[in-house]
Amino acid sequence: MLKIILYIFLQIPLQVACSLLVASLFFPLPAFSASQAEQEPLIDEIVISVTNGHLLLFATVRHCFTDEMLEGVRNGIPLTFRFDIRLKKIRNNWFDSELIEHKINHTLSYDTLKEEYQVAFAEKDRPEVTRSLEEAKQMMADLNGLQLYPLNELQVGSPYSLKIKATLVENTFPLGIHSIIPFTSLWNFETDWRIVEFNY
């Protein structure tokens, strides 16, 4: 690596090389370790099961909270995670047939008077309330038996694919909050798509 750097510097004018060196001293590039890369948000523990005549989905988001985000929640800034879910029937030599495209929101807020966390779910009629931050985080990050599709509309023996990703919704933050907390843009995340193929 050192030989490569020296070679590059020898191929450019001395004044430019000095400028690059000074810039690197005052504006060093961030160093990313392997442990940092492993902490990127991701969809994990995807399970597709069959119960009560429906296809059900279980999944969780890992590494989706930061200390700054949780401090914001405690100061009255709600957080909304959006799960994008797509179910398709795979058709050989033809376009896949899209069966569903769901957007499921989970919203975390904090009641400072009651000292309680509340998690509202798009897939449930009532929010869950807890005093435990860890429990609230788990409820936010989990899809626990989400009904995807009725079994009687699936074709036995046919292949299907499920795509899922999670995003921190940009409009989570109230209007003007960016001027008060300038680094809220750093809270945003979007996981990669996870794809699971299966036969029914």
The predicted structure's pLDDT at residue 57: 96
**Cα 185 from Cα 54, distance rounded (Å):** 38
The predicted structure's pLDDT at residue 23: 32
The predicted structure's pLDDT at residue 4: 35
90 found inside a domain: yes
First-to-last C-alpha distance (Å) of the chain: 52
Whole-model pTM?
Answer: 0.73
**Residues 163, 91 share a domain:** yes
The predicted structure's pLDDT at residue 88: 96
What 3-state class would DSSP assign to 86?
A: strand
The predicted structure's pLDDT at residue 37: 44
Q: Which amino acid is at 155?
A: Q
**Residues 45, 21 share a domain:** no
**Cα 101 from Cα 192, distance rounded (Å):** 17
Contact 36, 63 (CB under 8 A): no
139 found inside a domain: yes
Q: How far is CA 138 from CA 1, 96, 108, 119, in A?
A: 44, 34, 11, 10
**Residues 1, 51 share a domain:** no
**Residues 124, 171 share a domain:** yes
181 found inside a domain: yes
**Cα 2 from Cα 7, distance rounded (Å):** 9
**Residues 55, 137 share a domain:** yes
36 found inside a domain: no
**Residues 150, 77 share a domain:** yes
Mean pLDDT by 10 residues, the chain (200 residues): 36 38 34 51 93 94 90 90 96 88 96 96 93 97 95 93 91 51 57 93
Range of the domain at 159: 41-199
Domains: count for the chain: 2
**Residues 78, 13 share a domain:** no
Phi, psi angle pair for 156, to nearest 5°: -60, 130
Check which CATH number belongs to the domain holding 177 and give it: 2.60.40.10
